[in-house]
């Protein structure tokens, strides 16, 4: 199997193109500062992962910015911080402030010359529009949790993706799903028979960060950055 076997890349955005862990941690710092015991970055991200996943399961049709507000409130309660609706809303609106990885825009510009680029993201359209400005590329299609009414790893998200691409004449065999999260993306992608490329952004870090642990996930390619994937494609082209 080679990268040049495919003509469509379907991307997760957050954790893959946007450095959501840095964005989340920065946006949580005011809450962390109020917590009685204080929390290191890894502990805060792991707590976020637990509450985000639970909230997505409980309220699959909730807009992501609102869902983040609820997650912030859940964390405040767990950490013994008094309720603050304005702080919850501020965190919920923070997605456009989350930074892109330094290599994302350049690598996407290269890949755009060789592939159709499609987003399958667990956010709402307004939040993604803010992030897209940081990525500097026009995606051929954008599908969000807001469009689907559920959050990955729910199979409905991949069913929606494949149905929409089939309407454009794009077959499963043409698609390489490209993502960081083994939990949200690689395990369900494989259940649908999709080839996948793991952008292992946490290759030099322990633990699972802002995603839930998962067993039994597999993938076809592994790269430690999106630029490394673009460089591998260049090598295949000779």
Q: Which residues are catalytic?
A: 12
DSSP state of 185: I
Which is nearest to 209 in space by CA: 71, 20, 34, 12?
Answer: 20
Pairing of strands 141-144, 8-11: unpaired
Alpha-carbon span 140 to 83, nearest angstrom = 41
Which is nearest to 190 in space by CA: 201, 200, 199, 179?
Answer: 179
Alpha-carbon span 233 to 219, nearest angstrom = 17
Q: Are 55 and 74 in contact (CB under 8 A)?
A: yes
Which residues is 222 bridged to in the sheet?
198
Which is nearest to 181 in space by CA: 209, 206, 157?
Answer: 209
């Amino acid at each position: 199997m080679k990268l040049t076997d495919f003509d469509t890349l379907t991307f997760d955005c957050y954790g893959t193109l946007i450095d959501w862990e840095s964005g989340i941690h920065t946006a949580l710092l005011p809450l962390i500062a109020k917590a009685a015991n204080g929390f290191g970055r890894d502990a805060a991200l792991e707590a976020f992962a637990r509450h985000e996943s639970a909230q997505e399961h409980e309220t699959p049709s909730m807009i992501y910015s609102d869902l983040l507000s609820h997650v912030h409130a859940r964390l405040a309660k767990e950490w013994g911080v008094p309720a603050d609706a304005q702080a919850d809303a501020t965190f919920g609106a923070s997605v456009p402030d989350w930074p892109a990885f330094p290599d994302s825009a350049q690598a996407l510009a290269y890949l755009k010359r060789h592939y159709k680029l499609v987003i399958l993201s667990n956010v709402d359209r307004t939040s993604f529009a803010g992030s897209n400005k940081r990525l500097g590329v026009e995606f051929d299609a954008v599908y969000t949790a807001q469009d689907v009414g559920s959050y990955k790893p729910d199979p409905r998200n991949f069913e929606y993706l494949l149905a929409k691409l089939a309407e454009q004449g794009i077959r499963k065999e043409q698609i390489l799903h490209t993502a960081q999260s083994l939990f949200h993306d690689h395990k369900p992608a494989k259940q649908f028979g999709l080839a996948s490329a793991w952008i292992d952004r946490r290759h030099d870090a322990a633990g699972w960060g802002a995603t839930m642990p998962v067993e039994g996930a597999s993938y076809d390619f592994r790269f430690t950055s999106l630029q490394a994937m673009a460089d591998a494609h260049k090598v295949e082209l000779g």
